[in-house]
Structure 1
Amino acid sequence: MTLIQKYNVPGPRYTSYPTVPYWNEEDFSLSTWKETLVHSFLESNTSEGISLYIHLPFCESLCTFCGCNKRITKRHDVEHPYIDAVLKEWELYCELLPKKPIIKEIHLGGGTPTFFSPENLEHLINGLFENADKHPNHEFSFEGHPNNTTRAHLQKLYDLGFRRVSFGVQDYSPIVQEAIHRIQSFHNVAKVTFWAREIGYTSVGHDLIFGLPFQTLEDVIDTIDKTNSLQPDRLAFYSYAHVPWIKGNGQRGFKDEDLPKDEEKRLLYEMGKKRLSENGYHEIGMDHFALETDSLYHSFNERRLHRNFMGYTSSKTQVMIGLGVSSISDSWYSFAQNVKTLEDYYDALVQNELPVFRGHLLTDEDLIIRKHILNIMCQLQTSWNEYGYYFSEINQVVERLHEMEEDGLVIITNHSLTVTEKGKAFIRNICMAFDLRMTRKLPETKLFSMTV
């Protein structure tokens, strides 16, 4: 049996710990979320600032690979009411916080943020700062669709302080694009990339996916070569997460047998990674690559890399507030997720209440495990001899890791673990050994995508 076959099992992506299926919702309430948020806000260094993730859910068409919360519509009269609702939610948070917040990070995700007009996006960002100050070292970013991102979008957001943009590329093969219902040309991607550079964006990213339906090795090589010709500052090279049992009809536009599997799928990644390395890209954490000039590379080298519900980020704030339908907030001590439908979202805000419907209060043990998983995800190593890192079940965790050590995936000492070059492909599996909540209660139904 190969390592791919051995370790390709369902597992979390660890944008949080505990992962959402293991949240203890019974002990959570809106009032406890507010308490932990205020506590964390006061506890964190004021100069650190806070992060905002804003979910903009609208798309004009459905991409069948997508696992995000979205609403498909071609009606753009939905823009203004939604932005007003987001600003109302932000106003409720500002009334709750004991001091005027300083915003260090903003990320606009979706959905399709560039579904919204430049003018409405300006209304959103300016509205946020009616109740907040801008951090002097702010980092603002957004996701753009190459087909509808205009130069006006890029210029307006640049003028508002945005310096990083990521474009969803996925794959350039016409056959793959048709299967995933995401038709876009290399010309469109090149155009928006050049526009962003001309305007002055300091980090332009491309998002690619391997393991898509009908995707071949030749397709991945062609996509990587085209990507290299544009030299984005950073890129994500994600494994396609096939979870049709969660996402419904959106991921049922093709059959399971149309997807590359196991060794075939991993070869797509390894060849793409090799091609990227040959063109000056460095692997950062899991699924991410950056040129030496990009802030993600510097934060990784300086051990400042952080991971949260937005993915990898080059700086950390203790408080992250998620605004918009389905967004997740993180006070470090607790998580809170907003309602998932627009109707419920609007209804809560009409009642002048935060639209939170579930969450989790982290225990002392959760906080320790969270730090270990963050270390593995961001620094490829962790240790348990320092105060705040030891926990009673560490010996059982090490026992679970012994087979991975024999397979050359990790190096274990008396008090530490280091992921090897060979082990980078199996970071999710390594983190699973630390996941006490999942170890104690293995899932009885399908919850996660495959790890490889």
Structure 2
Amino acid sequence: MRQDLVAKYDLRLPRYTSYPTAPHFSPAVTGSTYEGWLAGLDPATPLSLYLHIAYCAEMCWFCGCHTKITRRYDPVAEYLEVLMQEIELLASKLPGRFSARHVHFGGGSPTILSAEDFSRLIAHLKDHFDIADGAEIAVELDPRTADEAYVQAMATAGVTRASIGVQDFNRRVQEAVNRIQPYEEVAEVTGWLRKHGISEINMDLIYGLPYQTVDTIVETIDQSLTLKPRRISLFGYAHVPWMRKHQTLIPEEALPGLEERWVQYETAQKRLQDHGYISVGLDHFALADDEMALALTNKQLHRNFQGYTTDAAEVLIGLGASGIGSLPQGYVANEGELHAWKRMVLDGVLPTKRGIAISDEDRLRREVIERLMCDLEIDLAAMARAHGRPEDHFAAELDGMSDLEADGVLVRDGFTLRITEDGRPLVRAAAARFDQYLRTGELRHSKAI
């Protein structure tokens, strides 16, 4: 990428895993609001479930997730009991028994649960929801806390996909972010997964970490590829110490500069492509025969709070402290403070802290942003017509894209936009032009580059 574009579009922008984005959620959406939205759902509508396990054994200093550190198991066990009560409470608010096509366990660290408790949680979930034949059940896995008994419990429960947090294999980088995780440890866990029949394996990598160089990124990728993951995520580290105080422990002077970050990204992208991985959207890579790569080809790729996904469900139910859900009527976010979340659930109240109801205009703009983020192209006239709007509905936004067009970030042909390959890393800058909420929340987002 041209370095002048790297500097020009280094803006604070959302990741667009929702629209409107989370900074615009408000307390106006309450548990009572959510209960009404749930009651209005059609039981024939398939849904997705996200379960947030809000504990980790150790804090990774780069982390931007909602998590709490514990060395004891008692708080984890207590959290699990309340989470199971929330599952019962949520299911009781639905107008029937629903079927789930996607189930995702995230965190925090789901592998902080014991194998027995993970099995209990899955069984409890299946007591209240039908898991559709062929459903994807995915678990975010920390190799430092997963043992073979846990992996075997995953397989027995029907888990089909594991996402392994690798980040970087370089020892100096690992020490700088407080995540010591040798290659051999990851290889052992990968071996257990395949031994027990879980072959859909993702690996998460991060660029822009302290002491990373182009050479160390390439070395990490090459080591990762020896383990033959089906998918790789390559995220840019978001340094937001004003939001995540533990990030102040990262030596800022060791962070790569803007230009270096993008040399890392581009080098990593080329390395993965050279090994047969297809670029999916902004930051995902998949083998050509993987479901995600096929969804990209068929323009059936989607985006939700977990990033790029093949999940097309209109309803996503978020469970656990800080869990976020999406419904046709809008978005809901659970209370993130653990004690407050527990009190609400134990009182029999849906633990909703905030959310946002969405309008028809929001739905239109959400689809525009999603298709742009996923397909890197869009016919705005056709999209407007599909939502009952005139073809020139986005005339003002198109007129405001002359800079992106002049800089080669995108190509415009009438009402059709196409992001160029040089513009791929800047797709968020193009998507942001359709965001009517951005100005009031932009300071709370990470940089686009």
Matches within 5 A, 1:110-189: 110-189=107-186
Moved over 6 A (4+): none
TM-score by length of 1: 0.95
Q: Which residue of 1 aligns with 2:261?
A: 265
Structure 1 residues 150 and 409, CA, compared in 2 at 3 Å: closer, same or farther? Answer: same
Partner of 1:4: helix, strand, or coil?
A: helix
> Larger deviation: 337-346 or 27-36?
27-36
Q: Which residue of 1 aligns with 2:409?
A: 409
Aligned mates of 2:11, 2:22 — CA distance in 1:
18
Q: Which residue of 2 aligns with 1:437?
A: 437
Measured after TM superposition, the shift of residue 188 of structure 1 is 0.6
1:318 and 2:314 correspond: yes
Measured after TM superposition, the shift of residue 38 of structure 1 is 3.0
Q: Which residue of 1 aligns with 2:420?
A: 420
Measured after TM superposition, the shift of residue 428 of structure 1 is 0.9
Structure 2 counterpart of 1:394, one-letter code:
F
Measured after TM superposition, the shift of residue 401 of structure 1 is 1.6
Matches within 5 A, 1:8-407: 8-23=10-25, 25=26, 27-39=28-40, 41-42=41-42, 46=44, 49-248=46-245, 250-385=246-381, 386-388=385-387, 390=389, 394-407=394-407
Q: CA RMSD in A?
A: 1.6
Contact kept? 2:23, 2:441, Cα under 8 Å: no
Aligned mates of 1:322, 1:85 — CA distance in 2:
14
Aligned mates of 1:162, 1:145 — CA distance in 2:
15
Contact kept? 1:233, 1:293, Cα under 8 Å: no
Aligned mates of 1:305, 1:346 — CA distance in 2:
35
Measured after TM superposition, the shift of residue 80 of structure 1 is 2.5
Aligned mates of 1:343, 1:90 — CA distance in 2:
17
Q: Which runs of 5+ in 2 are unaligned?
A: none
Aligned mates of 1:4, 1:79 — CA distance in 2:
43
Structure 1 counterpart of 2:387, one-letter code:
G
Contact kept? 1:318, 1:331, Cα under 8 Å: yes
Partner of 1:129: helix, strand, or coil?
A: helix
Measured after TM superposition, the shift of residue 79 of structure 1 is 2.6
Aligned mates of 1:137, 1:49 — CA distance in 2:
13
Measured after TM superposition, the shift of residue 99 of structure 1 is 1.1
Aligned mates of 1:225, 1:163 — CA distance in 2:
25
Aligned mates of 1:200, 1:255 — CA distance in 2:
41
Q: Which residue of 2 aligns with 1:3?
A: 5
Contact kept? 1:368, 1:389, Cα under 8 Å: no
Structure 1 residues 442 and 346, CA, compared in 2 at 3 Å: closer, same or farther? Answer: closer
Partner of 1:252: helix, strand, or coil?
A: helix
Aligned mates of 1:379, 1:292 — CA distance in 2:
16
Aligned mates of 1:416, 1:450 — CA distance in 2:
27
Aligned mates of 1:345, 1:90 — CA distance in 2:
13
How many pairs align? 443
Aligned mates of 1:59, 1:442 — CA distance in 2:
29
Contact kept? 1:299, 1:315, Cα under 8 Å: no
Q: Deviations over 1:374-419 (max 9, x none)?
A: 1011111222223217477612211222211111111222222111
Measured after TM superposition, the shift of residue 442 of structure 1 is 6.4
Contact kept? 1:371, 1:389, Cα under 8 Å: no
Structure 1 residues 362 and 155, CA, compared in 2 at 3 Å: closer, same or farther? Answer: same
Structure 2 counterpart of 1:376, one-letter code:
L
Structure 1 residues 448 and 209, CA, compared in 2 at 3 Å: closer, same or farther? Answer: same
Q: Deviations over 1:323-350 (max 9, x none)?
A: 0001111103211111111100110012
Structure 2 counterpart of 1:4, one-letter code:
V
Partner of 2:432: helix, strand, or coil?
A: helix
Structure 1 counterpart of 2:76, one-letter code:
E
Q: Which runs of 5+ in 1 are unaligned?
A: none
Q: Deviations over 1:271-308 (max 9, x none)?
A: 11111111111111121001123211111112221111
Structure 1 residues 95 and 442, CA, compared in 2 at 3 Å: closer, same or farther? Answer: closer
Aligned mates of 1:442, 1:178 — CA distance in 2:
33
Contact kept? 1:210, 1:237, Cα under 8 Å: yes
Contact kept? 2:50, 2:318, Cα under 8 Å: yes
Structure 2 counterpart of 1:229, one-letter code:
T
TM-score by length of 2: 0.95
Report percent identity of matched pairs: 35
Contact kept? 2:86, 2:345, Cα under 8 Å: yes
